[in-house]
Chains A and B, each alone.
Chain A
């Protein structure tokens, strides 16, 4: 009775103060994300639908209506898909070996993942231009071994691009998969075997579903990085393989067509958002 009669504000201030402090704590980060990330992206959307005469969809029509630019979009998607697929095929089994490694061997393997991850993208792409030159190390080794007689053209081919992209984005695939595999309880597989499952059945019905969150994270990360890569295609293949990323750069840095560049940017952004949304949805699937 007496408690109910007490004025409510007496109890309220501490709660409000904590909430106020929390808001104060996030304010700087909120301003950065809202002002220097969200707002400019919205503005970009605006730039992509105006030209000198007002509102227009001309930039999108040009991008999605000419065979050349559809090929450019397909180039980006193909770079993303091939890189992701190859990186996954290499990373998935390797993650299991990494999870079984102990002691110095594990440290060594992890170091070989972290060093390339932390190393500069430009440095790595540059290294591949040296490796793949016609007078480069790969060619000279193959000639010395007698595999080929004359140097084969490697740099500025799609193979060079994919090899370089896989190399540069691989750590982003294996690390999320490894993080899940390392926490896998071996008793699940043992239980499946005890209950009569074959090794193949155990893999497809127990291990693969349990490691799916790592796969989803790795695939989403590698695809969104490689589909929008700029430095790698610029150095390893150049003009012969235009992508959305190189088209954006060209529209802004050379052709001075911000509206068209913005439209290409919005398409690339839409691809990235679709990947994030899809991966979030997949990892929230039942159970």
Chain B
């Protein structure tokens, strides 16, 4: 099929790519144990003191709390409305379903910063300026496309006649939805939830235009720390965020399998 040389090139590229992708993550984890305040690798002795200092970063706790609230709430709202929309699209009873499906995922391809200034202008125009509420509403547009994309492709594989079958076999309608549809869609639901949570939790380009001095999300606060006075405390915080991400991915791999998330069926 392919010549031997081509196969070797492919493998070399794949291994180089894996190392290149992991490099920054490994370095930041190593630097978080730096024995000195200048990001040394812990070759001569590790220190965990930077982890103890995270909580004392200026404004850290309110920002963490804000980011968690916004990410959890916007994900929850998007999961409900996005799944309902995906069901309607999949059932094929909706006029213009294809166009609407495209519209639902289109914010993914739009520059975040442009969405940010557009929302700033829009919210101002209607006098909607409370930072917390504007952040929540704005993050719905950030999370909804992830839910819509995952649930539309998840539902494309779901056979709606199974619900009819369950009802024929004596299930009530809510019972058959609960016992047939929910288990079949649970993996897609989980993936949609995890990726939209991460998208919201990490968002900077939209949030920056809606935040004010007292209402700053964690990414805004982190960029500010990095620009002002970077020290290994930030590496420690970054490492904790990465550890959280690893746990979320591990859970989704157990439940769904990474190869299915990558879009292959086998």
Interface residue ranges, A against B (CB under 8 Å): 18-19, 21-23, 25-26, 28-30, 32-33, 36-41, 43-44, 47, 90-91, 93-94, 96-98, 100-101, 106-116, 118-124, 126-131, 133, 135-137, 167, 170-171, 174-176, 178-179, 182-183, 186, 189-190, 193, 199, 203, 220-221, 224, 227-228, 230-231, 234-235, 245, 248-249, 252-253, 258, 261-262, 265-266, 268-269, 272, 275-276
B65 within 8 A of A: no
| Residues of chain B contacted by A182 (CB below 8 angstroms) | 262-264, 266
Q: Are B1 and A135 in contact (CB under 8 A)?
A: no
B241 within 8 A of A: yes
Q: Label chain A's interface by main secondary structure.
A: helix
Q: Are A193 and B27 in contact (CB under 8 A)?
A: no
What band does the interface of chain B fall in when counting residues whose beta carbon is under 8 Å from A?
35 or more
Task: In the A-B complex, list the 8 residue pairs whose CB atoms are closest, starting with the nearest.
Answer: A228-B111, A127-B24, A40-B122, A179-B263, A28-B81, A97-B14, A25-B88, A40-B118
Q: Label chain B's interface by main secondary structure.
A: helix
B131 within 8 A of A: no
Given the known A-B contacts A112-B21, A126-B238, A167-B24, are A230 and B262 also in contact in the complex, defined by CB atoms under 8 Å? no
B41 within 8 A of A: yes
Sample of 18 further A-B pairs with CB below 8 A, known A41-B118, A175-B263, A228-B114: A21-B88, A22-B93, A32-B140, A33-B107, A36-B119, A36-B138, A41-B110, A41-B115, A91-B17, A97-B13, A107-B253, A108-B18, A110-B259, A112-B22, A118-B198, A119-B25, A129-B230, A183-B265
In angstroms, Cα B245 to Cα A96, docked, is: 27
In angstroms, Cα B125 to Cα A106, docked, is: 51
Q: Are A234 and B223 in contact (CB under 8 A)?
A: yes
- How many A-B pairs have beta carbons closer than 8 Å: the answer is 295
A115, A136, A235 pick with most chain B CB within 10 angstroms: A115
Find residues 92-125 in chain B having any chain A CB closer than 8 Å to their own CB: 93-95, 100, 103-104, 106-107, 109-115, 117-123, 125
Question: How close is B241's CB to chain A, nearest CB, in angstroms?
Answer: 6
Q: Are B27 and A29 in contact (CB under 8 A)?
A: no
Contact of B205 among A119, A176, A230, A269 (CB under 8 A): A230
| Residues of chain B contacted by A33 (CB below 8 angstroms) | 103-104, 106-107, 141, 144
| Residues of chain A contacted by B51 (CB below 8 angstroms) | none
Q: Are A269 and B17 in contact (CB under 8 A)?
A: no
| Residues of chain A contacted by B38 (CB below 8 angstroms) | 135
Closest to A271 in B: B111
Given the known A-B contacts A32-B140, A44-B118, A179-B263, are A230 and B112 also in contact in the complex, defined by CB atoms under 8 Å? yes
| Residues of chain B contacted by A22 (CB below 8 angstroms) | 88, 91, 93-94
B28 within 8 A of A: yes
Q: Are A131 and B10 in contact (CB under 8 A)?
A: no
